[in-house]
Structure 1
Amino acid sequence: MCESFRILCALCRVGLYALYRRLCCKGPSPVRPNFAILCIGLEGAGKSSILATLSGDDLHKIEPTIGFSIKAILFEDCILDVKELGGGDKVRPYWERYFQTFQGIIFVIDSSSEEGKLQTAKTELHNAVKHQQLKSLPLLVILTGQDKENARSVEEVSQFLEADTTFSGRQWLIRGCVVSNKETLLEIFSHFNEILQKNLDAEIEQRQNSPQHTNRL
């Protein structure tokens, strides 16, 4: 009898504790959404280094991406499944073959590049954002090499890219960084992730308010 009573008390404590966690919002964390992201840019711009810094990998072991690589970047509020494409001269003509189903674009530019290379980056960026499968996606342009003497400012590169005109009608950000500075990168991606999350929320709300969803209810 005493043993049964102790078991009953234990069950009650478990139940009360579960109720307490639920009421105080201390239950299990909600599942983080996954976003499929395309990461492109010229060879040597710093794409792999940015992803390595965010993942906590050793920057000294980074090798150039020849074809493509896929990396999951974990944040507190979401997970970015990033497909990074190599930026070499022989790879870029095949970029569009990988322009599949994405929810955002990251384009990386070395802000200390000489003018000819910067012009190539501008051309490739403009071609990508105009592509049918990418033209409506949120865009994050990251300028690396901001610690170098010949680095161009965010304002200078933004004007050079004709950002206000070229990116009109889409959500876009241009931010500068040093690839080894994780704190700055986390701040940059917090703004980008917020855009992705708002788009997801809007999409879910639209589906819930659609006639098909209402009829099923």
Structure 2
Amino acid sequence: MGNQLTDIAPNTPFLPSFQSLHVVVIGLDSAGKTSLLYRLKLQEFVEAIPTKGFNMERIKVNIGNSKTTITTFQVWDVGGQEKLRPLWKSYTRRTDGLVFVVDAAEVERMEEAKVELHRITRLAENQGVPVLVLANKQDRDGAMPATEVEKVLALHELNSSTLHHTEGCSALDGQGLQPGLEKLYEMILKRKKVLRHTKKKR
């Protein structure tokens, strides 16, 4: 599903500003994935209903202090209910980056989130794909900080070739989204350079 669209973003040596990066947003149901997507798209909070399939939006992001670097992320937001999770792998195949969203205030589901995150990143085709973990709902009382989320999800156990970063954020006010996406962009570029270097060696 959606594989043919990934051909829009081939692995070019340097990313021109008009090239779109294919990014998939996954996570448990009710983590706030769709609200985050539309906070990025519309710059406002949208109360979302559970996603039954997927949403796809193109989002333009200014990278760094220079307003000249604008990157387009082609973002697929895939439903997180248990029965939909087997479909995640259809969307993550050949993606440039994974965004895994957790509800940082829902501590009792962190173990479930950890299992799903490790399952999807262990797939052969996802080896080495950069992972941005968004610890969402930082506006809520009792939300775990990003450093704590990183420990609980055992990100240090991911494949050594998998670059990862955890950012606290809130779909309500948009905090943390810009630095998170900038970090994801950096990790994607770094991986593309490594892949290019490996190809040259062959």
TM-score between the two structures when normalised by the length of structure 1 = 0.74
What SS does the aligned partner of 1:155 have? helix
Structure 1 residue 133: Cα displacement: 1.3
Give the counterpart of 1:49 among 35, 43, 47. Answer: 35
1:125-165 per-position Cα deviation (integer Å, ceiling 9, x unaligned): 11011111112100000001112112112222211112212
Structure showing greater relative contact order (alpha-carbon pairs closer than 8 Å, 6 or more residues apart): 2
Determine whether 1:172 maps to 2:158.
Answer: no
Determine whether 1:189 maps to 2:175.
Answer: no
What SS does the aligned partner of 2:77 have? strand
1:3-42 matches, within 5 Å, as 31-42=17-28
Determine whether 1:136 maps to 2:128.
Answer: yes
- The percentage of counterpart residues that share the same residue type is 27
Structure with larger Rg: 1
**Counterpart in the other structure of 1:3:** none
1:158-178 per-position Cα deviation (integer Å, ceiling 9, x unaligned): 111122123533110011111
* Residue range with higher mean Cα deviation, 156-165 or 136-145: 156-165
Give the counterpart of 2:50 among 44, 49, 64. Answer: 64
1:70-109 matches, within 5 Å, as 70-76=56-62, 77-109=70-102
What SS does the aligned partner of 2:124 have? coil
1:55-104 per-position Cα deviation (integer Å, ceiling 9, x unaligned): 11653353321111211111133111111110012211332233322111
1:143 partner letter? A
Query: What is the aligned residue count?
Result: 180
**Counterpart in the other structure of 1:161:** 153
2:82 partner letter? D
More helix by share: 1
2:113 partner letter? A
Separation in structure 2 between the aligned mates of residue 206 and residue 165 of structure 1, nearest angstrom: 24
Change (3 A) 1:166 1:94: same
Give the counterpart of 1:199 among 182, 191, 195. Answer: 191
> What RMSD, in angstroms, separates the aligned Cα atoms of the two structures?
2.2
Change (3 A) 1:167 1:148: farther
Separation in structure 2 between the aligned mates of residue 167 and residue 142 of structure 1, nearest angstrom: 19
TM-score between the two structures when normalised by the length of structure 2 = 0.79
**Counterpart in the other structure of 1:123:** 115
Structure 1 residue 190: Cα displacement: 1.1
